[in-house]
Structure 1
Protein backbone atom coordinates (compact mmCIF):
# COMPACT_ATOMS: atom_id res chain seq x y z
CA UNK A 1 0.00 0.00 0.00
CA UNK A 2 2.77 2.43 0.94
CA UNK A 3 4.60 1.65 -2.31
CA UNK A 4 1.47 2.31 -4.35
CA UNK A 5 0.85 5.65 -2.64
CA UNK A 6 4.49 6.70 -3.13
CA UNK A 7 4.27 5.87 -6.81
CA UNK A 8 1.11 7.95 -7.18
CA UNK A 9 2.89 10.95 -5.66
CA UNK A 10 5.87 10.39 -7.96
CA UNK A 11 3.60 10.41 -11.02
CA UNK A 12 1.96 13.63 -9.87
CA UNK A 13 5.41 15.25 -9.73
CA UNK A 14 5.55 15.04 -13.55
CA UNK A 15 2.86 17.71 -13.66
CA UNK A 16 -0.11 17.70 -16.06
CA UNK A 17 0.17 15.12 -18.81
CA UNK A 18 -1.91 15.58 -21.94
CA UNK A 19 -2.71 12.25 -23.55
CA UNK A 20 -4.04 11.86 -27.03
CA UNK A 21 -5.95 8.84 -28.27
CA UNK A 22 -3.58 6.52 -30.07
CA UNK A 23 -3.73 3.11 -31.60
CA UNK A 24 -2.68 0.35 -29.14
CA UNK A 25 1.02 -0.39 -29.35
CA UNK A 26 1.90 2.86 -31.16
CA UNK A 27 5.17 4.12 -29.66
CA UNK A 28 6.49 6.64 -32.16
CA UNK A 29 6.70 9.95 -30.33
CA UNK A 30 8.57 10.84 -27.16
CA UNK A 31 5.28 11.42 -25.32
CA UNK A 32 3.99 8.01 -26.37
CA UNK A 33 7.15 6.32 -25.18
CA UNK A 34 7.24 8.30 -21.92
CA UNK A 35 3.58 7.48 -21.27
CA UNK A 36 4.31 3.82 -21.89
CA UNK A 37 7.33 3.85 -19.55
CA UNK A 38 5.30 5.53 -16.79
CA UNK A 39 2.49 3.03 -17.29
CA UNK A 40 4.87 0.08 -17.10
CA UNK A 41 6.42 1.45 -13.91
CA UNK A 42 3.01 2.10 -12.42
CA UNK A 43 1.80 -1.41 -13.27
CA UNK A 44 4.97 -3.13 -12.02
CA UNK A 45 4.87 -1.36 -8.67
CA UNK A 46 1.16 -1.97 -8.19
CA UNK A 47 1.58 -5.66 -8.99
CA UNK A 48 4.43 -5.89 -6.47
CA UNK A 49 2.59 -4.06 -3.69
CA UNK A 50 -0.95 -5.18 -4.47
CA UNK A 51 -0.91 -8.46 -6.43
CA UNK A 52 -4.69 -9.03 -6.19
CA UNK A 53 -5.67 -5.67 -7.68
CA UNK A 54 -8.75 -5.68 -9.92
CA UNK A 55 -7.19 -4.64 -13.24
CA UNK A 56 -10.46 -3.59 -14.93
CA UNK A 57 -11.49 -1.38 -12.01
CA UNK A 58 -7.97 0.08 -11.81
CA UNK A 59 -7.94 0.99 -15.51
CA UNK A 60 -11.46 2.41 -15.24
CA UNK A 61 -10.37 4.72 -12.43
CA UNK A 62 -7.25 5.87 -14.30
CA UNK A 63 -9.14 6.44 -17.55
CA UNK A 64 -11.95 8.41 -15.90
CA UNK A 65 -9.47 10.58 -14.01
CA UNK A 66 -7.41 11.34 -17.14
CA UNK A 67 -10.55 12.11 -19.14
CA UNK A 68 -11.93 14.38 -16.42
CA UNK A 69 -15.04 12.30 -15.76
CA UNK A 70 -16.88 12.31 -12.44
CA UNK A 71 -16.13 9.50 -10.02
CA UNK A 72 -18.62 6.65 -9.70
CA UNK A 73 -18.15 6.84 -5.92
CA UNK A 74 -19.04 9.73 -3.64
CA UNK A 75 -16.42 11.28 -1.38
CA UNK A 76 -18.00 9.46 1.57
CA UNK A 77 -17.81 6.13 -0.29
CA UNK A 78 -14.18 6.76 -1.21
CA UNK A 79 -13.27 7.46 2.41
CA UNK A 80 -15.15 4.42 3.73
CA UNK A 81 -13.65 2.19 1.04
CA UNK A 82 -10.07 3.23 1.80
CA UNK A 83 -10.59 2.72 5.54
CA UNK A 84 -11.77 -0.85 4.90
CA UNK A 85 -8.97 -1.38 2.39
CA UNK A 86 -6.34 -0.28 4.92
CA UNK A 87 -7.81 -2.72 7.44
CA UNK A 88 -7.53 -5.51 4.83
CA UNK A 89 -3.90 -4.61 4.10
CA UNK A 90 -2.96 -4.48 7.79
CA UNK A 91 -4.58 -7.87 8.40
CA UNK A 92 -2.71 -9.36 5.42
CA UNK A 93 0.60 -7.90 6.59
CA UNK A 94 0.05 -9.30 10.08
CA UNK A 95 -0.72 -12.71 8.61
CA UNK A 96 2.48 -12.66 6.57
CA UNK A 97 4.51 -11.46 9.56
CA UNK A 98 3.19 -14.30 11.72
CA UNK A 99 4.06 -16.81 9.00
CA UNK A 100 7.58 -15.36 8.70
CA UNK A 101 8.04 -15.55 12.47
CA UNK A 102 7.00 -19.20 12.56
CA UNK A 103 9.30 -20.02 9.65
CA UNK A 104 12.18 -18.20 11.35
CA UNK A 105 11.72 -20.06 14.62
CA UNK A 106 11.65 -23.39 12.80
CA UNK A 107 14.80 -22.47 10.88
CA UNK A 108 16.70 -21.52 14.05
CA UNK A 109 15.57 -24.67 15.87
CA UNK A 110 16.91 -26.88 13.07
CA UNK A 111 20.05 -24.79 12.63
CA UNK A 112 20.91 -25.07 16.32
CA UNK A 113 21.20 -28.85 15.95
CA UNK A 114 24.18 -28.58 13.61
CA UNK A 115 27.43 -29.53 15.38
CA UNK A 116 29.39 -26.40 14.36
CA UNK A 117 26.66 -23.91 15.34
CA UNK A 118 27.03 -22.16 18.70
CA UNK A 119 24.11 -20.45 20.43
CA UNK A 120 24.34 -17.66 23.01
CA UNK A 121 21.91 -16.96 25.86
CA UNK A 122 20.14 -14.34 23.76
CA UNK A 123 19.46 -16.82 20.95
CA UNK A 124 22.18 -15.53 18.60
CA UNK A 125 23.68 -18.36 16.58
CA UNK A 126 27.08 -18.33 14.90
CA UNK A 127 29.69 -20.42 13.14
CA UNK A 128 33.38 -19.56 13.43
CA UNK A 129 34.76 -20.01 9.93
CA UNK A 130 38.10 -18.38 10.74
CA UNK A 131 39.41 -17.55 14.19
CA UNK A 132 40.90 -14.07 14.45
CA UNK A 133 44.11 -13.23 16.24
CA UNK A 134 43.71 -9.48 16.76
CA UNK A 135 41.90 -7.29 19.24
CA UNK A 136 38.32 -7.89 20.41
CA UNK A 137 36.08 -4.81 19.99
CA UNK A 138 34.54 -3.06 22.98
CA UNK A 139 31.12 -1.44 22.92
CA UNK A 140 32.62 2.03 22.47
CA UNK A 141 34.92 1.05 19.59
CA UNK A 142 34.44 1.35 15.86
CA UNK A 143 35.00 -1.58 13.53
CA UNK A 144 35.78 -2.05 9.86
CA UNK A 145 34.04 -5.07 8.34
CA UNK A 146 33.26 -6.78 5.10
CA UNK A 147 29.86 -8.47 5.20
CA UNK A 148 26.95 -9.91 3.29
CA UNK A 149 23.41 -10.12 4.65
CA UNK A 150 20.76 -12.53 3.40
CA UNK A 151 17.29 -13.71 4.34
CA UNK A 152 16.80 -17.41 5.07
CA UNK A 153 15.57 -17.91 1.50
CA UNK A 154 18.93 -16.69 0.19
CA UNK A 155 17.82 -13.19 -0.85
CA UNK A 156 20.75 -10.76 -0.48
CA UNK A 157 19.59 -7.46 1.06
CA UNK A 158 22.98 -5.83 1.74
CA UNK A 159 26.61 -6.51 0.87
CA UNK A 160 29.80 -4.51 1.29
CA UNK A 161 31.42 -6.98 -1.11
CA UNK A 162 29.07 -5.83 -3.86
CA UNK A 163 29.98 -2.21 -3.14
CA UNK A 164 33.68 -3.06 -3.37
CA UNK A 165 34.76 -1.63 -0.02
CA UNK A 166 34.37 -2.54 3.66
CA UNK A 167 32.15 -0.54 6.00
CA UNK A 168 33.05 1.28 9.21
CA UNK A 169 30.54 1.72 12.02
CA UNK A 170 30.35 1.88 15.84
CA UNK A 171 29.90 -1.44 17.64
CA UNK A 172 26.93 -0.05 19.55
CA UNK A 173 25.39 1.58 16.49
CA UNK A 174 24.13 -1.55 14.74
CA UNK A 175 21.44 -4.17 15.39
CA UNK A 176 21.69 -6.03 18.70
CA UNK A 177 22.81 -9.30 17.08
CA UNK A 178 25.78 -7.57 15.45
CA UNK A 179 26.71 -5.69 18.63
CA UNK A 180 26.77 -8.95 20.59
CA UNK A 181 28.69 -10.91 17.96
CA UNK A 182 31.34 -8.25 17.35
CA UNK A 183 32.27 -8.23 21.05
CA UNK A 184 32.92 -11.98 20.84
CA UNK A 185 35.07 -11.81 17.72
CA UNK A 186 38.72 -10.95 17.20
CA UNK A 187 40.12 -8.88 14.35
CA UNK A 188 40.97 -11.10 11.42
CA UNK A 189 38.08 -13.45 12.19
CA UNK A 190 35.32 -14.51 9.85
CA UNK A 191 31.98 -15.65 11.26
CA UNK A 192 28.57 -16.58 9.94
CA UNK A 193 25.75 -15.18 12.08
CA UNK A 194 22.16 -16.37 12.34
CA UNK A 195 20.28 -13.53 14.02
CA UNK A 196 16.76 -13.97 15.46
CA UNK A 197 14.34 -11.24 14.45
CA UNK A 198 14.19 -9.82 17.99
CA UNK A 199 17.94 -9.15 17.76
CA UNK A 200 17.52 -7.58 14.31
CA UNK A 201 14.61 -5.49 13.02
CA UNK A 202 11.83 -7.32 14.85
CA UNK A 203 8.21 -6.73 13.97
CA UNK A 204 8.87 -3.46 12.14
CA UNK A 205 11.30 -4.79 9.51
CA UNK A 206 12.57 -2.21 7.04
CA UNK A 207 12.34 -1.47 3.33
CA UNK A 208 14.44 -4.49 2.32
CA UNK A 209 13.65 -6.82 5.24
CA UNK A 210 10.15 -8.18 6.00
CA UNK A 211 8.91 -8.08 9.62
CA UNK A 212 10.01 -10.94 11.92
CA UNK A 213 12.84 -11.98 9.59
CA UNK A 214 15.77 -14.10 10.72
CA UNK A 215 18.91 -12.61 9.18
CA UNK A 216 22.07 -14.42 8.09
CA UNK A 217 25.35 -12.52 7.88
CA UNK A 218 28.82 -13.43 6.69
CA UNK A 219 31.16 -11.08 8.56
CA UNK A 220 34.87 -10.44 8.29
CA UNK A 221 36.16 -8.28 11.14
CA UNK A 222 39.04 -6.46 9.47
CA UNK A 223 39.99 -3.80 12.00
CA UNK A 224 39.14 -2.49 15.46
CA UNK A 225 39.40 1.29 15.94
CA UNK A 226 39.05 3.40 19.08
CA UNK A 227 36.14 5.87 18.98
CA UNK A 228 36.99 9.02 17.07
CA UNK A 229 39.95 7.50 15.22
CA UNK A 230 40.51 8.88 11.74
CA UNK A 231 39.71 6.69 8.76
Structure 2
Protein backbone atom coordinates (compact mmCIF):
# COMPACT_ATOMS: atom_id res chain seq x y z
CA UNK A 1 0.00 0.00 0.00
CA UNK A 2 1.31 3.39 -0.96
CA UNK A 3 1.21 5.51 2.21
CA UNK A 4 2.41 8.65 0.48
CA UNK A 5 -1.13 9.19 -0.91
CA UNK A 6 -2.89 9.00 2.50
CA UNK A 7 -2.37 12.67 3.44
CA UNK A 8 -3.59 13.71 -0.01
CA UNK A 9 -6.74 11.58 0.32
CA UNK A 10 -7.48 13.03 3.75
CA UNK A 11 -6.89 16.51 2.39
CA UNK A 12 -9.30 15.88 -0.52
CA UNK A 13 -11.96 14.45 1.82
CA UNK A 14 -11.65 17.43 4.16
CA UNK A 15 -11.86 19.88 1.24
CA UNK A 16 -14.93 18.08 -0.15
CA UNK A 17 -16.72 18.19 3.20
CA UNK A 18 -15.82 21.83 3.66
CA UNK A 19 -17.22 22.75 0.25
CA UNK A 20 -20.27 20.46 0.38
CA UNK A 21 -21.56 21.62 3.78
CA UNK A 22 -22.65 25.13 2.65
CA UNK A 23 -24.30 23.65 -0.44
CA UNK A 24 -26.29 21.20 1.67
CA UNK A 25 -27.17 23.92 4.18
CA UNK A 26 -28.42 26.24 1.42
CA UNK A 27 -30.68 23.49 0.06
CA UNK A 28 -32.32 23.22 3.47
CA UNK A 29 -32.68 27.01 3.73
CA UNK A 30 -34.19 27.18 0.26
CA UNK A 31 -36.83 24.66 1.27
CA UNK A 32 -37.60 26.59 4.45
CA UNK A 33 -37.75 29.86 2.55
CA UNK A 34 -40.06 28.38 -0.09
CA UNK A 35 -42.33 27.01 2.64
CA UNK A 36 -42.48 30.39 4.39
CA UNK A 37 -43.25 32.14 1.10
CA UNK A 38 -46.02 29.67 0.32
CA UNK A 39 -47.56 30.14 3.79
CA UNK A 40 -47.31 33.94 3.40
CA UNK A 41 -49.09 33.79 0.03
CA UNK A 42 -51.86 31.55 1.40
CA UNK A 43 -52.45 33.93 4.32
CA UNK A 44 -52.51 36.93 2.01
CA UNK A 45 -55.09 35.30 -0.26
CA UNK A 46 -57.44 35.08 2.72
CA UNK A 47 -56.62 38.58 3.98
CA UNK A 48 -57.15 40.10 0.53
CA UNK A 49 -60.42 38.24 0.02
CA UNK A 50 -61.65 39.38 3.45
CA UNK A 51 -60.60 42.96 2.69
CA UNK A 52 -62.38 42.98 -0.67
CA UNK A 53 -65.56 41.37 0.65
CA UNK A 54 -65.62 43.79 3.59
CA UNK A 55 -65.41 46.73 1.17
CA UNK A 56 -68.19 45.27 -0.98
CA UNK A 57 -70.44 44.73 2.08
CA UNK A 58 -69.85 48.25 3.43
CA UNK A 59 -70.77 49.73 0.05
CA UNK A 60 -73.74 47.43 -0.71
CA UNK A 61 -71.96 45.96 -3.74
CA UNK A 62 -71.58 42.33 -2.66
CA UNK A 63 -74.48 41.07 -4.79
CA UNK A 64 -73.27 43.08 -7.81
CA UNK A 65 -69.71 41.73 -7.72
CA UNK A 66 -68.36 38.85 -9.77
CA UNK A 67 -65.24 36.98 -8.68
CA UNK A 68 -63.06 35.56 -11.45
CA UNK A 69 -61.06 32.33 -11.18
CA UNK A 70 -57.92 34.35 -10.47
CA UNK A 71 -59.50 36.12 -7.47
CA UNK A 72 -60.21 39.48 -9.16
CA UNK A 73 -63.57 41.01 -8.21
CA UNK A 74 -65.42 43.01 -10.88
CA UNK A 75 -68.43 45.28 -10.29
CA UNK A 76 -70.21 46.55 -13.40
CA UNK A 77 -71.34 50.13 -12.76
CA UNK A 78 -72.33 50.94 -16.36
CA UNK A 79 -72.70 48.34 -19.11
CA UNK A 80 -71.35 49.62 -22.41
CA UNK A 81 -72.67 48.58 -25.80
CA UNK A 82 -69.43 49.00 -27.75
CA UNK A 83 -66.81 46.57 -28.98
CA UNK A 84 -65.17 44.18 -26.53
CA UNK A 85 -61.54 44.83 -25.61
CA UNK A 86 -59.15 42.22 -27.01
CA UNK A 87 -55.48 41.51 -26.40
CA UNK A 88 -53.34 43.97 -28.34
CA UNK A 89 -56.02 46.68 -28.58
CA UNK A 90 -54.98 50.24 -27.79
CA UNK A 91 -57.61 51.36 -25.30
CA UNK A 92 -58.34 54.97 -24.32
CA UNK A 93 -59.78 55.05 -20.82
CA UNK A 94 -60.26 57.01 -17.63
CA UNK A 95 -59.29 55.47 -14.32
CA UNK A 96 -58.75 56.18 -10.65
CA UNK A 97 -56.57 53.84 -8.60
CA UNK A 98 -57.09 53.65 -4.82
CA UNK A 99 -55.65 51.63 -1.98
CA UNK A 100 -58.05 48.96 -0.81
CA UNK A 101 -55.56 47.94 1.86
CA UNK A 102 -52.35 49.58 2.92
CA UNK A 103 -50.17 46.51 2.89
CA UNK A 104 -51.58 43.53 4.75
CA UNK A 105 -49.43 41.60 7.19
CA UNK A 106 -50.33 37.92 7.72
CA UNK A 107 -49.02 37.95 11.29
CA UNK A 108 -51.86 40.27 12.25
CA UNK A 109 -54.72 38.88 14.27
CA UNK A 110 -57.22 41.39 12.97
CA UNK A 111 -58.94 40.89 9.66
CA UNK A 112 -59.14 42.46 7.20
CA UNK A 113 -55.74 44.08 6.77
CA UNK A 114 -55.64 45.49 10.29
CA UNK A 115 -51.96 46.30 10.08
CA UNK A 116 -50.22 48.17 7.34
CA UNK A 117 -48.31 51.27 6.40
CA UNK A 118 -50.04 54.44 7.64
CA UNK A 119 -48.45 56.43 4.80
CA UNK A 120 -50.89 54.71 2.42
CA UNK A 121 -54.37 55.13 3.94
CA UNK A 122 -57.15 52.87 2.77
CA UNK A 123 -59.17 54.62 0.06
CA UNK A 124 -56.44 57.12 -0.82
CA UNK A 125 -55.83 57.74 -4.52
CA UNK A 126 -52.42 56.57 -5.75
CA UNK A 127 -52.98 57.14 -9.49
CA UNK A 128 -55.51 59.01 -11.58
CA UNK A 129 -55.70 59.43 -15.35
CA UNK A 130 -57.01 62.98 -14.84
CA UNK A 131 -53.58 63.91 -13.45
CA UNK A 132 -51.80 63.30 -16.76
CA UNK A 133 -52.75 66.74 -18.14
CA UNK A 134 -54.53 65.53 -21.26
CA UNK A 135 -57.65 67.30 -22.50
CA UNK A 136 -59.73 64.15 -21.97
CA UNK A 137 -58.20 63.31 -18.57
CA UNK A 138 -57.57 59.85 -19.92
CA UNK A 139 -54.77 57.42 -20.70
CA UNK A 140 -54.05 54.85 -23.41
CA UNK A 141 -53.06 51.28 -22.56
CA UNK A 142 -52.33 48.25 -24.70
CA UNK A 143 -54.57 45.44 -23.51
CA UNK A 144 -52.60 42.39 -22.45
CA UNK A 145 -49.15 43.98 -22.17
CA UNK A 146 -47.30 45.93 -19.50
CA UNK A 147 -50.11 45.90 -16.96
CA UNK A 148 -50.49 44.24 -13.59
CA UNK A 149 -52.34 40.93 -13.82
CA UNK A 150 -55.53 42.19 -12.16
CA UNK A 151 -55.78 45.45 -14.10
CA UNK A 152 -55.02 43.62 -17.35
CA UNK A 153 -57.63 40.94 -16.67
CA UNK A 154 -60.25 43.56 -15.85
CA UNK A 155 -59.47 45.48 -19.02
CA UNK A 156 -59.95 42.32 -21.11
CA UNK A 157 -63.36 41.79 -19.46
CA UNK A 158 -64.51 45.22 -20.68
CA UNK A 159 -66.12 46.78 -23.71
CA UNK A 160 -66.38 50.36 -24.95
CA UNK A 161 -68.77 52.32 -22.73
CA UNK A 162 -68.23 50.14 -19.66
CA UNK A 163 -67.53 51.59 -16.26
CA UNK A 164 -66.30 49.03 -13.73
CA UNK A 165 -64.75 48.68 -10.32
CA UNK A 166 -61.83 46.27 -10.30
CA UNK A 167 -60.97 45.04 -6.80
CA UNK A 168 -57.51 43.58 -7.16
CA UNK A 169 -55.92 41.22 -4.60
CA UNK A 170 -52.29 42.05 -3.85
CA UNK A 171 -50.98 38.99 -5.70
CA UNK A 172 -52.62 40.32 -8.90
CA UNK A 173 -51.30 43.85 -8.25
CA UNK A 174 -47.69 44.46 -7.17
CA UNK A 175 -47.51 41.62 -4.62
CA UNK A 176 -44.62 41.27 -2.19
CA UNK A 177 -42.41 43.65 -4.21
CA UNK A 178 -44.61 46.73 -4.21
CA UNK A 179 -43.51 49.61 -6.42
CA UNK A 180 -42.88 53.32 -6.09
CA UNK A 181 -45.77 54.77 -4.10
CA UNK A 182 -47.43 51.39 -3.47
CA UNK A 183 -46.49 49.27 -0.44
CA UNK A 184 -45.87 45.55 -0.52
CA UNK A 185 -48.91 43.26 -0.41
CA UNK A 186 -51.41 46.06 -1.02
CA UNK A 187 -54.83 45.21 -2.46
CA UNK A 188 -55.94 47.88 -4.94
CA UNK A 189 -59.16 49.16 -6.47
CA UNK A 190 -59.56 50.74 -9.89
CA UNK A 191 -62.60 52.65 -11.13
CA UNK A 192 -62.25 52.37 -14.91
CA UNK A 193 -64.26 53.78 -17.82
CA UNK A 194 -63.57 52.53 -21.36
CA UNK A 195 -63.83 55.43 -23.82
CA UNK A 196 -62.70 53.91 -27.11
CA UNK A 197 -60.54 51.34 -28.86
CA UNK A 198 -58.02 53.07 -31.12
TM-score w.r.t. length of structure 1? 0.51
- CA-CA distance at 1:111 after TM superposition: 4.6
DSSP-derived class of the 2:195 partner: strand
Note if 1:110 corresponds to 2:58: no
Paired residues in the alignment total: 129
Deviations 1:205-227 (A, max 9, x none): 111111111100000011112xx
Instruction: Kindly report which structure 2 residues correspond to 1:22-171, keeping only aligned pairs within 5 A, or say none.
Output: 101=44, 103-111=47-55, 114-152=62-100, 153-164=122-133, 165-171=137-143
Q: Is the 8 A contact 1:148 1:160 kept in 2?
A: yes
Q: Is the 8 A contact 2:167 2:187 kept in 1?
A: yes
- CA-CA distance at 1:103 after TM superposition: 4.7
Question: Equivalent residue for 2:178?
Answer: 205
Question: Equivalent residue for 1:53?
Answer: none
Structure 2: state its 5+ residue gaps: 1-39, 101-121
- CA-CA distance at 1:125 after TM superposition: 0.2
DSSP-derived class of the 1:192 partner: strand
Q: Is the 8 A contact 2:88 2:142 kept in 1?
A: yes
Bigger RCO (CA 8 Å, 6+ sep): 2
Partners of 1:177 and 1:161 in 2: CA distance? 21
Question: Equivalent residue for 1:219?
Answer: 192
CA-atom RMSD, angstroms? 2.3
TM-score w.r.t. length of structure 2? 0.59
- CA-CA distance at 1:154 after TM superposition: 0.8
